Amino acid sequence: MQWFLTTLIQYKNFLFFIILLGIGIAFTVAGSNFHSTKIQEIGVVVSGELLKPIHYSKSYLYLNETNESLLKENNHLRQELLDYKGVQVSTDLDSLNPNLSKYLVRSAEVLRNSYVNARNLLILDKGANDGIKQDMSVIGPDGIIGIVKQTSSNFSSVISILYQDFKINAKLIHTGAFGSLYWEGKDPSKMTFSDVSIINKITKGDTIVTGGMSAYFPKGIPIGIITDFDTPTSGGYYDIKVELFNNLTDLEHVYIIDNKSRSEFLNIQNQDKDASR
């Protein structure tokens, strides 16, 4: 207590000056909009600089929670988009019921990714315990990625579209012409689009999307754009080169799509095959 009183007496003139300065500033701010605005601007700058390290620290500490929240939101939006494409212009209110949705979307992280082999696979951090099953389709932020090959309790392997002998049903978005998309085993950003008849008009820059004529990928998922094509001298089909939207060499998060109608689709397909024999 004695130390405090001694310090107070020693610096009484300086403290008295600070008090008077504060009173003067208060009166100036109260009587002048200009000075009031300037003081507020200074306060904002000082507060921002002081709070910035705290904000960055909190952002870092809660980064995982933020990512999880964003992934859940993306799941919801992608599911709504897929359902909308399936419903198209239907006004049936039942189509908006999530329990009646045709697709269920789950997020996953890529633990391993290969793209330099002839037959490439991915390993994801979701498995049977998370509802993941064989043959579910996998997409990324910008397009298709592959098909679930097998699952364990907590992990799953995915056949990448960069897998020789693996063909995908696709179509031209403008003309609706269907064909088969496959990888030739060279550039991981390029694929070949075949079986498109020359009666269809195509140009460089045309967009390729999934055709929806299989039990794997839903219709209309982006794939890539046409970069080049040749018209054969014999035969009636183009040889088309496609550049993928997805960068398959740099994947962190993906989305697994469960087509709830897949079993029904396959049953009908198998019945048609048996009937045609």
pTM above 0.85, yes or no: no
**CATH assignment at residue 195:** 2.40.10.350
pLDDT value of residue 55: 43
pLDDT value of residue 240: 93
CB burial class (10 A; 0-12, 13-18, 19+) of residue 99? exposed
Residues of the chain with pLDDT under 70: 1-5, 8, 25-101, 233-234, 262-277
pLDDT value of residue 230: 87
Residue 46 lies in a domain: yes
pLDDT value of residue 97: 40
Expressed in angstroms, the distance from the first to the final Cα of the chain is: 104
pLDDT value of residue 262: 66
**Do residues 188 and 248 make contact, with C-beta atoms less than 8 angstroms apart?**
yes
pLDDT value of residue 47: 39
Residue 97 lies in a domain: no
Task: At 62, list the tokens.
Answer: 């809660």
Amino acid 140 reads G
Q: To the nearest 10°, the Cα dihedral for 136, 127, 110, 266?
A: -10
How many domains does the chain divide into?
2
Residue 207 lies in domain: 168-244
Residue 199 lies in a domain: yes
pLDDT value of residue 59: 46
Instruction: Count the Cβ atoms, other than its own, within 10 Å of residue 218.
Output: 20
Residue 50 lies in a domain: yes
Q: Which of 83, 90, 86 is nearest to 105 (CA)?
A: 83
pLDDT value of residue 272: 54
Residue 53 lies in a domain: yes
Amino acid 268 reads I
Residue 17 lies in a domain: yes
Residue 7 lies in a domain: yes
Residue 93 lies in a domain: no
Q: Which of 217, 238, 232, 233 is nearest to 175 (CA)?
A: 238
pLDDT value of residue 172: 93
Q: How far apart, in Å, are the Cα atoms of 221 and each of 90, 144, 207, 268?
A: 20, 7, 11, 23
